[in-house]
Chain A
Amino acid sequence: MRPIIEIASNMFKETIRNNVLYLVLFFVVALIVLSVFIADWSVFARIQVMQDFGLATMSLAGLMLSIFIGVGMLGKEMSQKTLYHVVTKPVSREQFVCGKFAGLFATLLLTYLVMSVVFLCTLAYLGGAITPPLVYAIFLIWAEMSVVISASIFFSTFTSPMLASFFSLAFYVAGHLNDLLSIKMVEAKGSVYPHVLKAIYYILPNLEHFNVRDNIIYGVGLPVSYYCLAIVYGILYTVLFLSLSCILFAGKDL
């Protein structure tokens, strides 16, 4: 356990100095504040637009951070040969991958904390209520971020950083379009096509389960059990992707 903590701590210090992190944070904060003006153009009330826009921006920020930081994490270590200093020590490759993920996740959690505070303060300043479902929605975004980052790390274990970025982006888009597959499954005809769609539906995670923006805007409440189950769902997928990353990285010829 100690090697994981040490690697995570080192990764945290390394990532917190990454300029990309601050650039993304700056843009997200700017967008959240600018959404106040964009909200005036919409048919909806300002608060509703702000809630929708703010949560959507934070979700996209997770994607950007996983692509810019998460994807290059392992590739950079291998190309700069710094990885060899670690694997020659009594540190298993699985501990290395888990430590890297933990460090990156801790950094991004801190970043998201800043974004969430800005978002909630802006909302409160405009007179919006900070309701429990809104806070739960932020937790779900954190869970989604965890899944996306673990998927990015998984892709980076067997492919180049450029391809891993593309796969991560495709993974995010496909995960959010997964709901449409369930509709298409019902309509599909033939003996093979519906089963192919079903397989794709169950292989890909349904990232829409972390998206409760519409429920918040329209005030359609979800039970607390839904939020708990969605976080468990995110944790399970993260464990799955990390496990696969560890297996692939352990067998990789460095």
Chain B
Amino acid sequence: MRTSIAAALAVVWLLVLAAQNRLTSIRTKHFAPPSMAFVPQSEKIKPYLLGFHTAYADYLWIRTTLYFGSEFLSHGQYKWLVHMVDLVTRLNPTFYPAYEFAGLMIPDICQDPDAARVILQRGISSATDRRWKLWYYLGMIYYEYYKDKKNAAACLTYAVTQSGAPGYRLAGIAAAMFKNAGAPEEGRDFLEFVYTTSENPEVKRYVAGKLQAYLEKK
């Protein structure tokens, strides 16, 4: 009796596993991005969060990373990415990872350096503890996307003056920019520098790929 019950349960269990695998494969073929229904239109929702706006910003940040991941694996359109990152920084102006993400990813994948610039400037004025990095990213955006070497170098000189900045490296890069450099070594230095200083594993992975492509093009 016990053996037959155990056998029956084992059969049910195997059917469950088969159903689970089949359901997973069907869902993978009919993939839908995560819902944006819980993303507010603007930071005007802040008073209604009753003081929990930083907690909501944290939740929104998790949704942002999940949204980025799902779009990266599927359509690659990132329609709401800028809005979500912007909203996270408005709800919690001291949330550094969102600024780093804006500085590194948004100009490239969303083709929107203006949005990245605005978000970074907000971060610079909000007294985060790694402000030198935000100046550095802003400088790179001026250099790479606006082709404005003068402003780029100015941003890097501001970065050098912030606490915690690796002054000698930034000064060298700023000097090279000021010399109207077009040398490829600058690009390599920038990528290597971001890779070694970033604490975000996803950013490191992304930059490692960029560096490899950059070296192969050379």
Which residue of A is nearest B16, CB measured?
Answer: A236
CB distance B12 to A236 under 8 Å? yes
CB distance A218 to B32 under 8 Å? yes
Q: Is A132 positioned at the interface, with any CB of B under 8 Å from its CB?
A: no
Q: Which of A48, A225, A226, A239 contacts B37 (CB 8 A)?
A: A48
CB distance B30 to A41 under 8 Å? no
B195 to chain A minimum Cβ distance, whole angstroms, is: 19
Q: Is B55 positioned at the interface, with any CB of A under 8 Å from its CB?
A: no
Query: Contacts A43-B80, A214-B32, A243-B9 given: A226-B23 contact, CB under 8 Å?
Result: yes
Which residue of B is nearest A246, CB measured?
Answer: B5
CB distance A214 to B80 under 8 Å? no
The interface stretch among A18-26, A79-87, A159-167, A227-235 is: A227-235
Q: Is A32 positioned at the interface, with any CB of B under 8 Å from its CB?
A: no
CB distance A222 to B17 under 8 Å? no
CB distance B40 to A42 under 8 Å? yes
Q: Is A197 positioned at the interface, with any CB of B under 8 Å from its CB?
A: no
- How many B residues, CB 8 Å from partner? 31
Main secondary structure of the interface of B (DSSP, over half): helix
Residues of A within 8 Å of B20, CB to CB, are 202, 205-206, 209, 233
A229 to chain B minimum Cβ distance, whole angstroms, is: 6
Q: Is B83 positioned at the interface, with any CB of A under 8 Å from its CB?
A: yes
CB distance A43 to B32 under 8 Å? no
A32 to chain B minimum Cβ distance, whole angstroms, is: 14
What 7 pairs across the A-B complex have the smallest Cβ distances?
A52-B37, A214-B32, A220-B32, A233-B19, A49-B37, A215-B32, A209-B23
9 interchain pairs, CB-CB under 8 A? A44-B37, A48-B37, A202-B17, A206-B23, A209-B23, A233-B19, A240-B12, A240-B16, A247-B5
